[in-house]
Amino acid sequence: MTAAGVLTGQHFMNGDHACAEGAIAAGCLFFGGYPITPSTEIAERLARRLPEVGGVFIQMEDELGSIAAILGASAAGARAMTATSGPGFSLMMENLGLGIMMELPCLIVNVQRGSPSTGLPTLPGQSDIMQARWGTHGDVRAVAYAPWSPQEFFDLTVLGFNVADRYRVPVLLMADEVVGHMVERVTIPDPDSIPRWERKRPNGKSKAGFKPFLAGEDLIPPMVHAGEGYRVHFTGLTHDERGYPDMSAEAHDRLVRRLVNKIDLHAAEIIRTEGYHLDDARIVVLAFGSTARSARRAVREARAKGIPAGFLRLVSVWPFPVEELRQLAGTVDAFVMAEMNLGQLITEVERHVTQPVIGVQHAGGAMLPPEPILKAIEEAAGHGAG
């Protein structure tokens, strides 16, 4: 059992390894992946650890096989994950859609590197953020988290599995190379204090006539696994509540809306943010991942200079915390969005607020330092605040 496998205690650990330990702690029993810098250490660690806890590690022939394999394992009832970076993430897009359509929980880690294309394999980037949102074809709602430390990489892996299972959706963990490769203290708790949210299961007695895609008010259909005797059909085609293909516009609209609304309805439970000095802030900085570390430093320095700056750290990047942003927009004069790309998440901020939004951007390759963020804060302060 995994309880014996959880490495409770204090560790000085690399981010990728912390992610792997988070998976073990969350009860992950299947990893199907392909080596790609800078995520390879996750695979290597799990190749060692999964056999110790009775799980399965398999290195697949490519990323397409990897994501297909974890969906299959999830369909059989296992908590399953894969880990990759930009180029592999692109290869996984089609089956990400399959996972959303079949409502198969799984965790997909993207330790982002310099993109596009082969880019900078060993250096950080944050330019796959919009791809996480829209990379797969069709109307979908992405669920994505961005850790800013090895500790959080551990924590968000546990959370990611829980969110995936509860809402029957693939969850994306959008780390970056800095967080993946840095070594910091990681505290792994007791197995008993690690929360585990189980998949919703059918509560009827009869298996005959069970409709695997019939959802109640929470829009989450109960999950059945292969071999449990329900004889259900899962398809990537548009389907009705029985799971049978239904090639009508009416069924398609009904299904796709439910899949989208399923996430929208529970957005408040899925979204995670962290605020620093927000109570009296007139300029708010937004950032995620390793950039957030620089952003926090910049905000502290701004405060030291007397500028009423605050920092909203995006722990989840999708769904975007629109409500929180709108609330802040009530009292804030300007926003600063710092990200290691040429302006992706900034578009989300811009469309929800009327205040000026200053972007601090870099295409990737080096962690965004605090200086340009501080400069942007000072520039924003010149817009009449503080």
Q: Please say whether the beta carbons of 104 and 76 come within 8 A.
A: no
CA angle 186, 188, 190 (to 5 degrees): 165
Residue with smaller CB distance to other proteins, 47 or 366 = 47
Q: Say whether residue 227 binds other proteins (CB under 8 A).
A: yes
Q: Which of 70, 143, 156, 357 binds other proteins (CB under 8 A)?
A: 70
Pairing of strands 283-287, 334-339: parallel
Q: Which of 20, 23, 46, 71 binds other proteins (CB under 8 A)?
A: 71
Q: Which of 90, 196, 197, 234 binds other proteins (CB under 8 A)?
A: 234
Q: Say whether residue 80 binds other proteins (CB under 8 A).
A: yes
> CA separation (Å) from 105 to 18, 90, 130, 270?
21, 19, 21, 14
**Shortest reach from residue 200's CB to other proteins, in Å:** 18
Q: Looking at this protein, which amino acid is placed at residue 158?
A: V
In total, the chain counts a number of residues equal to 386
Q: Which of 62, 139, 190, 218 binds other proteins (CB under 8 A)?
A: 62
**Shortest reach from residue 34's CB to other proteins, in Å:** 11
**Looking at 11-19, 58-66, 171-179, 191-199, which segment touches other proteins (CB under 8 A)?**
58-66
**Dist CA 271 CA 268 (whole Å):** 5
**Shortest reach from residue 228's CB to other proteins, in Å:** 7
Q: Looking at this protein, which amino acid is placed at residue 55?
A: G
Strand partners, 184: 13
Q: Which of 36, 75, 146, 338 binds other proteins (CB under 8 A)?
A: 75
Q: Please say whether the beta carbons of 209 and 75 come within 8 A.
A: no
Residue with smaller CB distance to other proteins, 93 or 265 = 93
Q: Say whether residue 61 binds other proteins (CB under 8 A).
A: yes
**Looking at 69-77, 157-165, 259-267, 292-300, which segment touches other proteins (CB under 8 A)?**
69-77
**Looking at 63-71, 126-134, 264-272, 293-301, which segment touches other proteins (CB under 8 A)?**
63-71
Q: Say whether residue 77 binds other proteins (CB under 8 A).
A: yes
Comparing C-alpha atoms, which of 84, 111, 37, 115 is closest to residue 362? 115
Cα 313 vs. chain centroid, distance in angstroms? 14
Q: Say whether residue 20 binds other proteins (CB under 8 A).
A: no
Tokens found for residue 108 = 């997909």
CA angle 223, 224, 226 (to 5 degrees): 140
**Dist CA 283 CA 384 (whole Å):** 10
Q: Say whether residue 213 binds other proteins (CB under 8 A).
A: no
Judged by CB under 8 A, how many residues of this single chain contact other proteins? 50
**Looking at 59-67, 300-308, 316-324, 351-359, which segment touches other proteins (CB under 8 A)?**
59-67
**Looking at 173-181, 229-237, 314-322, 373-381, which segment touches other proteins (CB under 8 A)?**
229-237
Residue with smaller CB distance to other proteins, 207 or 305 = 207
Phi, psi for 194 (deg, rounded to 5): -95, 115
How does DSSP classify residue 245?
A: B
In the window 297-326, what residues touch other proteins (CB under 8 A)? none
**Dist CA 145 CA 97 (whole Å):** 18
First to last CA, the chain: 56
Q: Which residues contribute to the site for other proteins (CB under 8 A)?
A: 1, 4-5, 29-30, 32, 51-54, 56-58, 60-62, 64-66, 68-78, 80, 94-95, 98, 102, 225-237, 244-245
